[in-house]
A and B are shown apart, each in its own frame.
Chain A
Amino acid sequence: MRFNPGGVLAIYRYELSRTVRTIWQSVATPVITTALYFVVFGGAIGSRIPEVGGVSYGAFIVPGLIMLSLLTQSISNASIGIYFPKFSGTIFEILSAPLSPIEAVTAYVAAAATKSVVIGLIILLTSTLFVEVRIDHPVWMVAFLVLTSVAFSLFGFIIGVWAKNFEQLAIIPSLVVTPLTFLGGSFYSIDMLPPFWRTVSLFNPVVYLVSGFRWSFFGQGDVGVATSLGFTFAFIVACLAALTWIFQTGWRLKP
């Protein structure tokens, strides 16, 4: 046996069935959250904000809102996906299976990313109930959706391996990812910021993701689309490098 595609598929299916078991939570939460954002930002506040780059404010925030959910969902799905077996002890089964580390990561990350992409699409559909959304580059839109989900599922997987308790599991998403997402241009164009903060924002990785994603909708972004893509790939490579090290050393997985 050179590869174990059956094993990868088993984990992938199992993880998705875990999602299906909690389908209402998984779907209702993002739909309700998105609806609230549209009521508050799109309706109440957005009506007083002029168009941004020729796009109504309500439509302008759609890509940012999707990104916001995509990042938090990818991280939480993937981190719980691997943290839970560690916590309950069922990780022994993965470690003692004829499954390479790459295969295990592929399965968990693919499952987490699949769920994120589905949620992203649900949010997109929900948003069309509130505003008119136009998508200039649908293929790129899907590409960004998938790449971002994969990148942050990888990141979430690392957090799940690193976390020793539920507090640690929650701390990175709430202390690092949420602020970066809010300050990453989800609700505004960084052109709206004073020059100093605009420069600071360029160090925020989420800016590149939101920008690329927004470009796929409206053909305009804060940074070039190539930069956005390059950044996403760089992030994926960095996560893969960290994971390779984790599995080679057995760090926090095996004594």
Chain B
Amino acid sequence: MPPIIDCVAVTKRYANGQLALDSVDLSIERGEIFALLGPNGAGKTTLIGAICGTVSMTSGTVSVAGTDVVRDFRAARARIGLVPQEIALDIFASVRTTVAFSRGLFGRPADPAYIERLLRDLSLWEKRDARIVELSGGMKRRVMIAKALAHEPDVLFLDEPTAGVDVNLRRDMWALVRRLRSEGATVILTTHYIDEAEEMADRVGVIDKGRVLLVEDKAALMRKLGKRRLTLVLHDPLSALPESLAGWPIALDEGGRRLVYAFDASADDTGVPTLLRRLAEAGVAFADLETTASSLEDIFVDLVGAGS
């Protein structure tokens, strides 16, 4: 089975000469939650636009479930739902009208029962006959999602879905994303909140300056690039490290009460056993210890920093 989304050498140069996408290759598997991470202006929205048809590509090809998005745009687009970053709604229309309109636009026959379920799922049913102009910002965003799902797509793009969104909506949105995935849909999201990508995504792609720097299974990425830290809470404060540990990547914190050792979790020899033995030999006793993995955020900052 072909990947659900396949981008090959996708390039976009804007009229002002700016190269927004520089030969992007990206495959997205059916049924996964894929997070596209990158700083502002990295090309995330342009890439989504090229796939969905709101941006014309300069060169390259994109296919959705094997069908080309330019040559066979109808079949390709019928599968896709898009929630753009900016709220864009006809503010004078009612919630139900605008959602039903989105379904009609995709040539799907009217299905009031489906629309009702969708609006209930998004806590919009009470507001079904309200005009958009009367809704709060969070409610408008829910309407955007309802519109994107109105034609029952099997790929959902969420561009910065939780930027400026309250906790309730964030939680509802992630619950929705998980449910969509469990129903077999593919979800591609861009986000600034790296913890969200970390929590939600199966795979992560990092994009910067129009180039995909890496695409990796999230867990593998964390393992591969993840540094771990071992923190020892010492019995007695240390003013200096024992000589046997000179040159080790160790820092003393909180006036010598904590000893922090950074190590590579995937290395054959992490150095942890040696460290503990040498501390014992030097007579340094500790009360507690913990290890922490570095977050996706650390990895991300490292990658983007290295690229620039």
Which residues of A come within 8 Å of B, CB atoms?
1-2, 4-7, 9-11, 13-14, 17-18, 21, 84-85, 88-100, 250, 254-255
Contacts and interface: CB of A to CB of B under 8 A. Distances in A.
B222 interface: no
A97 B106 contact: yes
B164 interface: no
A7 B150 CA distance: 13
Interface stretch (B87-95, B172-180, B186-194, B283-291): B87-95
B105 A93 contact: yes
Given A5-B107, A6-B104, A96 B97 contact: no
Most buried by B among A94, A97, A255: A97
Interface stretch (B49-57, B197-205, B233-241, B254-262): B49-57
A105 to B, nearest CB: 15
A69 to B, nearest CB: 24
Interface in B65-103: 73-78, 80, 82, 84, 86-93, 97, 101-103
B88 A94 contact: no
A98 B55 contact: no
Q: What is the interface residue range for chain B against chain A?
A: 35 or more
B182 to A, nearest CB: 25
A97 B90 contact: no
Interface of B: 14-15, 49, 52-56, 73-78, 80, 82, 84, 86-93, 97, 101-109, 147
A90 B89 contact: yes
A92 B106 contact: no
A250 B56 contact: yes
B294 to A, nearest CB: 37
Nearest to B89: A90
A17 B89 CA distance: 16
Given A1-B74, A93-B147, A98-B106, A255 B92 contact: no
20 contacts: A6-B104, A6-B107, A7-B106, A10-B103, A14-B97, A14-B104, A85-B90, A89-B84, A89-B87, A89-B88, A90-B88, A92-B82, A94-B105, A96-B52, A96-B77, A98-B78, A100-B73, A254-B55, A254-B56, A255-B49
A196 B78 CA distance: 59
A11 B102 CA distance: 9
A6 to B, nearest CB: 4
Give the interface centre of B78, B87, B104 by most chain A CB atoms within 10 Å. Answer: B104
A99 to B, nearest CB: 7
Given A88-B88, A98-B74, A98-B78, A10 B104 contact: yes
Contacts of A84: 90
